[in-house]
C-alpha cells in the first residue's frame, strides 16, 4: 500500500470515528451536548484535527444525517427488484422495521430527534431518496388497479403507509420495561399493521371523506420553525494528540 493510499484510508477511518461518536452523543445527550471540543476529548484528538475534517458543528451534524440516510435508502433499494407492487410494499415495511431495530441510533437521528440536521438528497431519485421508493411502489399499485379511492393522491397513500410504519417501530425502540404492556412480537405487529393498511386502503370505495387539494395546489402541513442550532467556531489546526 502506497503512502497516499494509506493516508486516505486513515482520513476516512477518522471521519467515520468522528461521525460515530458524534451520533452517540446526539442520541444519548441531545444536540446541546455535542461540541467539537467535547468530541475531540472523547476520541482523543485535538479540536483542530476535527476541524480539518468538518468546518463546524453544523457540518458535522449534516454529515451524520447524510451518512445515516444513505444507509437507510440503501437498505430500501433491495426491494426494487420485486415486481408485484403490494409485495414490494410489504417488503419495504419489513426493511423499514429492520433498519430501525438494527440501527436505533441512526433511526433516531433521522426520524425521532428534533431537526438536528439536514439531508441533501435527490428528491424523487430512488437511488438517493428512500421516500421515492415508497412512492414508486404506490404508483405501481395504482396502475394495477389498487387504491382506487385515492386516484391522484399518491402522496397521501405513501405518507400514510410511512406514518404507520414509523409509529410501530418508534414504540418498539422507545418503549421501556415498566410500561406494563405485554407487547407482541415486533415482526407480528409489523405484519398486522401492513396488512391492515393495505387492505383498508384497497377496500375503500370512495375518498369523499377526504379533503381534496385545490386544483394545481398540493396540500401541505403548516411549516414548523426549525430550532436554533449551535455552531462551533472554527479553530486553527493543532494536530493530533495521540497516535
Q: 67: part of which helix (H) or strand (E)?
A: helix 57-77
For residues 68-82, average pLDDT:
91
For residue 188, the model assigns a pLDDT of: 95
Is the model's pLDDT at 210 over the cut of 70?
no
Average pLDDT over all residues of the chain: 83
pLDDT in tens, 132-172: 999 999 999 999 999 999 999 999 999 999 999 999 999 99
Q: CB–CB of 132/123 below 8 Å?
A: yes
214 CB-near residues (< 8 Å, 6+ apart): none
Is the model's pLDDT at 180 over the cut of 80?
no
For domain 64-203, the CATH superfamily is Tetracycline Repressor, domain 2 (1.10.357.10)
For residue 224, the model assigns a pLDDT of: 46
- CB burial of 146-174 (b: ≥16 within 10 Å; e: otherwise) equals bbebbeebbbbbbbbbbeebeebbeebbe
SS (H, E, C) 89-137: HHHHHHHHHHHHHHCHHHHHHHHCCCCCCCCCCCCCCCCCCHHHHHHHH
- CATH number belonging to domain 1-55: 1.10.10.60
Is the model's pLDDT at 222 over the cut of 70?
no
**How many CB atoms sit inside 10 A of residue 23's CB?**
23
Top pLDDT among 136 and 110 is at 136
Q: Kindly list the domain boundaries of the chain, sorted by start residue.
A: 1-55, 64-203
- 214: which DSSP letter? P
pLDDT in tens, 30-72: 888 999 999 999 999 988 889 999 999 889 988 998 889 889 9
Is the model's pLDDT at 118 over the cut of 90?
no
Residue 218 to residues 62, 141, 188, 214: CA-CA distances in angstroms?
Answer: 28, 21, 35, 7
Amino acid at each position: 500500500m502506497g503512502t497516499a493510499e494509506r493516508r486516505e484510508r486513515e482520513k476516512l477511518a477518522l471521519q467515520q470515528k468522528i461521525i460515530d461518536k458524534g451520533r452517540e452523543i446526539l442520541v444519548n445527550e441531545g444536540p446541546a451536548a455535542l461540541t467539537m471540543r467535547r468530541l475531540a476529548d472523547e476520541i482523543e484528538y485535538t479540536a483542530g484535527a476535527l476541524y480539518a475534517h468538518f468546518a463546524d458543528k453544523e457540518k458535522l451534524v449534516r454529515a451524520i444525517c447524510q451518512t445515516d440516510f444513505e444507509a437507510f435508502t440503501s437498505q430500501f433499494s433491495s426491494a426494487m427488484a420485486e415486481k408485484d407492487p403490494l409485495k414490494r410494499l410489504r417488503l419495504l415495511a419489513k426493511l423499514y422495521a429492520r433498519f430501525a431495530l438494527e440501527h436505533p441510533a441512526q433511526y433516531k437521528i433521522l426520524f425521532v430527534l428534533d431537526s438536528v440536521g439536514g439531508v441533501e438528497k435527490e428528491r424523487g431519485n430512488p437511488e438517493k431518496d428512500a421516500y421515492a421508493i415508497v412512492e414508486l411502489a404506490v404508483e405501481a399499485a395504482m396502475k394495477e388497479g389498487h387504491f382506487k379511492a385515492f386516484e391522484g393522491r399518491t402522496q397521501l397513500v405513501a405518507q400514510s403507509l410511512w406514518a404507520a410504519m414509523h409509529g410501530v417501530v418508534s414504540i418498539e425502540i422507545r418503549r421501556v420495561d415498566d410500561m406494563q404492556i405485554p407487547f407482541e412480537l415486533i415482526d407480528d405487529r409489523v405484519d398486522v399493521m401492513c396488512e391492515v393498511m393495505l387492505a383498508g386502503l384497497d377496500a375503500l370505495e370512495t375518498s369523499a371523506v377526504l379533503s381534496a387539494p385545490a386544483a394545481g395546489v398540493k396540500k401541505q402541513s403548516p411549516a414548523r420553525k426549525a430550532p436554533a442550532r449551535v455552531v462551533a467556531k472554527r479553530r486553527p489546526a493543532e494536530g493530533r494528540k495521540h497516535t
